[in-house]
Structure 1
Amino acid sequence: MGKPARGLGFWMTLALVVGNMIGSGIYLLPATLAPLGMNQLAGWGVTLAGALCLAGAFARLGARMPLAGGPYAYAQAAFGPATGFITAWSYWTMIWAGNGSIAVAVVSNLSLIFPWIGQTPGLPALLAVGCVWLLTLVNISSTRAVGDLSIVTTTLKLVPLVALIGLALWWFATGAPRAAQPPVPISPGAIASAAGLTFWGFLGLESATVPADKVENADRVVPRATLIGVALTGLVYMGISLAFAAYMPAPEAAASPAPVADLLRKAFGGGVAEVVALFAAISAFGTLNGFILLQGEVPWAMARGGVFPRWFAKESSRGTPVRSHVVSSVLLTIVALLNYGKGMGDLFQFIASVSLAAGMLSYFLSMAAAIRLLPGERPMIAIAAVGAAFIVWAAWGLGAEALGYGALFVVAGVPVYWAVSRGGASSTAPNGRG
């Protein structure tokens, strides 16, 4: 089969990185962070510094080794197939299980605009599953279609966030009165709590490295998109946080079910909540699109590397991993439906949180791989070491229970690796194509 043309240029890749990090969560996060007072700004600062270290290491690895699979490819190159499998398995499970909450977020925001959605039995579940499979078909059709959709949704999702930051700058320039904030002591524990919450806003920073074989001039585009994407996302997050700290009392923000809409309403009046909910739904839809791309690419790369059943390596005539997408989306559909099953909501949340705990291992092993694969580059080795330490700290913040169950998630993949190894699956380069 001839190699299909690569479809992702710089702007598409940048949109993928930014779009995967900025989901609908930022529309609710100000309420969650409000009780922490100024500790949230310190938390954002620590998280941004850690995210930039991770991004720096991924960018350098992407420049040196523009291989499909991202974290998996680097871990396999550094430590061999067993470690590569563990890295990919933890990363893949984090993606498809976490995507369940993103699919639910799309429908939840639409329900704020159209209340009849939530009032119609079975319809929210049907719409969530519909979003999953619509975007799966987009991903199967072509990588370029994914990139085009990423540009559109990422541009739209930034509109209300940039508007809010611009509004805060206008208030500052015109001398608008600041909000009186209750005193909250600055403490290491509160900063750690804030950082634990804000770190999830940067999940997906490695997105450009996963489909690197489908990126034009990947050795240049992947690192640029990764670093610029993280920096741009960090500026947006810090801008939102500063706006709330300056112009919305913390108790009011904490009690608000839609803090971004409530702050914008002060300037633009009623009707803003529905508009913001629409943008939040678009934001979640765009993030789901990007992560469905990743959830299909990872098992494909694993299969091509010989650590996953070769059945997953099958591609369409357009070079998309059809089987990987279908299986991943079936798993995603099951997780999404758990949210709507009677008495299953707690299980849905449990799977999502545990998968995130498991996924932290893939970030840590990626940093360890950077240290191994970049000998002699002392500044980059130091950056990767800081990134690894940050991951350990962030994982510690999840708690022993989540980490314990996350470890079980990882162990559950061992029989798969054993079966593939015993079957004598042939190994090819992680970015090989046939």
Structure 2
Amino acid sequence: MDENKGLSMGALTAAVVTSSIGSGVFTLTSSLAGGAAAGPVLLAWLVVGFGILMLALSLNNLLQKNPEAEGVQAYAQAGFGNFAGFVSGWGYWLSAWLGNVAFATVLMSSLGYFFPLFKGGQNVPSVILASVVSWGLTYIVNRGVESAAAMNTIITICKLIPLFTFIVVGIFVFKGGMFTAHFWSNVSSGVAGGANIWTQFKSCLMIMMWVFVGVEGASMLSSRAKSKSEAGRATIIGIICLLIIYVLASVLPYGYLSQDALAKINQPAMLYIFQDMVGTWGGAFIGVGLIIAILGSWLSWTMLPADTTMLMAEEKLLPAYFGKKNKNGAPTFSLVLTAALIQIFLLVLLFSEEAYNFALSLCTAAIVVCYIFVGAYQVKFSYQNKDMKQFWIGFFALLFQVVAITLAGLHFLMLVCIGYLPGIYFYYRAKKDYSLDGGKLTKMEILYSIAIVAFAIISIVMVAMGAIQI
């Protein structure tokens, strides 16, 4: 790359920050307060921040040294074969559209501030309107309309101005005595009898990992840097900035309201906390910005799953019709399939007590599969090239993802296996269509498929028996 062209380190750092911040930061405090006091929350942020930094550095290294890999899911295929590529790519696809379900819940909850009909975000009117928005965005993308630079600028402003305003006001109204009261003890009514520090720590992991979903896109921006060295530094600075923003936005309210009050506040929490801080105009200020930001992000994430399956079709991991484009250059089959699945899941939310947390947990669990392969490939690639510094970065990235999903809830990973059932069929059809390995699954692929199907069946049975709550 020409050293005189591309993004400067400052511009790249800003891009890393703005492209990673989504709707999750606006709901953080209440979600965290439902299971943890301020002390365990800060401890969890330290661990999650380190793990995500290792992941981002791994992605940055692989992008620089293996630029021909198109899409973050391609690293699994490059390092561990076609079936691993399918598992990673399908997990990325699942995560992308499950994230839209979480967007739908937050959007309806935000509209509920202005129109009580939608309050809570998971009643019949909310599902109907969310369905209309989902299919409307699918129609727009299918017509070949993409997110323009001007629109991205507006979305970024709508996210950052309310966010920074909230943080500044939060600093001024912060009360040290309130913050240090029960610093390590869970007094939330949601946890009977309280909980120890370890239990509180574990309750934070999935929520915190959710707000970093999409960090792989920020890392990919490093290919537009003026130099590789600047890309690495910008990635580190960007992740640290993100961590500071997330910590302040989620922890400052512990110094304004009690943990019990924060846990009971409606979602999106930031909207109602800011209203309590400054009055009614504060809720409207956060609400309007959040609604615009979600619609913009939802548009981008409507394109993302379709792009993912299109890339997989190009790599012969899915049948060709997943990548077939209409006259507007959009993959219609992928778009319609994704919208139909979102529709089904929106109906499921009517019966879920914690719709938003359930959607974000499944989204995070699905993308963790992809991140695990990134860490594993970073370890393998660095070991083969005798780069021990990058080897250890990959090792810690891999270790964090494996340990975090184990502590946060393996049952979510089991539920994600249900989403792989149709994917395995499509993978088999691709092998048959392209006459790969004689048009059949290999012995190892059959064994892996049986394991996925077994976990899916077990999770279905556990849901039916009430052992897994949705």
Assess same fold via TM > 0.5. Answer: yes
- The structure-2 alpha-carbon separation of the partners of 1:144 and 1:84, relative to structure 1 and needing over 3 Å to count, comes to same
Q: Give deviations 1:182-235, integer Å, cap 9, x for gaps.
A: 24258344323323331211111112468x8xx867996987886555333222
Tell me whether 1:238 sits opposite 2:247 in the alignment.
yes
Matched, 1:51 2:59: no
Matched, 1:391 2:401: yes
| CA distance 1:262–1:171, change in 2 (3 Å) | same
Return the match for 2:337 from 321, 327, 344: 327
Aligned to 2:114: 113
Whether the 8 Å contact between 1:64 and 1:219 is mirrored in structure 2 is: no
| Residue 371 in structure 1 maps to residue 372 in structure 2 | no
Rounded Cα–Cα distance in structure 1 between residues aligned with 2:15 and 2:100:
15
Alignment partners' CA distance in 2, 1:309 and 1:200? 30
Correspondence for 1:310:
320
Q: 1:403: how far off? A: 2.9
Q: Which moved more, 1:13-22 or 1:267-276?
A: 13-22
Which deviations, in whole Å up to 9, do the C-alpha atoms of 1:31-82 show, x marking residues without a partner? 2323422110111111111111111111222223345752321111122212
Which runs of 5 or more residues in structure 2 are unaligned? 1-5, 186-195, 438-470
* Alignment-derived partner of residue 274 in structure 1: 284
Q: Indicate the structure whose relative CO is greater, using CA pairs within 8 Å and at least 6 residues apart.
A: 1
Distance in 2, matches of 1:68 and 1:126, equals: 40
Q: Which moved more, 1:76-85 or 1:47-56?
A: 76-85
- Partner residue of 1:42? 43
**Quick one: percent identity of the two aligned structures?**
24
User: Structure 1 stretch 301-310 or stretch 289-298: which is displaced more?
Assistant: 289-298
Q: 1:94 to 1:191 in 2, by over 3 A?
A: same
Rounded to whole Å, the distance in 2 between the matches of 1:155 and 1:320 is: 28
Asked whether 1:255 is paired with 2:264, we answer yes
* Length, aligned pairs only: 413
Q: Which moved more, 1:191-200 or 1:297-306?
A: 191-200
Instruction: Provide the alpha-carbon RMSD of the alignment.
Output: 3.8
1:361 equivalenced with 2:369 (yes/no): yes
1:154–1:130 distance in 2 versus 1, CA, 3 Å? farther
Q: TM-score, normalised by structure 1?
A: 0.80
**Structure 1 residue 92: deviation in Å?**
0.9
Tell me, yes or no, if the aligned pair for 2:105 and 2:355 is still in contact at 8 Å: no
Provide, for residues 106-131 of structure 1, a one-character-per-residue CA deviation record: whole Å limited to 9, x for no partner: 12211221224569995433321232
Q: For residues 306 and 199 of structure 2, what CA distance do their matches in structure 1 show?
A: 38
Q: Which residue of 2 aligns with 1:402?
A: 412
State the TM-score, normalizing by the size of structure 2: 0.75
- Stretch moving more, 69-78 or 110-119: 110-119
Aligned 8 A contact 1:85 1:302 in 2: yes
User: How do residues 132-143 of structure 1 correspond to structure 2 at under 5 angstroms?
Assistant: 132-140=134-142
Counterparts of 1:112-261 in structure 2, within 5 Å, are 112-117=113-118, 123-140=125-142, 145-170=147-172, 178-179=177-178, 181-185=181-185, 187-208=197-218, 229-257=238-266, 259-261=269-271
Deviations 1:367-386 (A, max 9, x none): 11122233232212211110
**Partner SS, residue 339 of structure 2:** helix
Residue 412 of structure 1: how far off its partner (Å)? 4.6
Matches within 5 A, 1:44-83: 44-67=45-68, 69-83=70-84
Q: Is 2:307 the partner of 1:297?
A: yes
Does the 8 A contact of 1:85 with 1:307 survive in 2?
A: yes
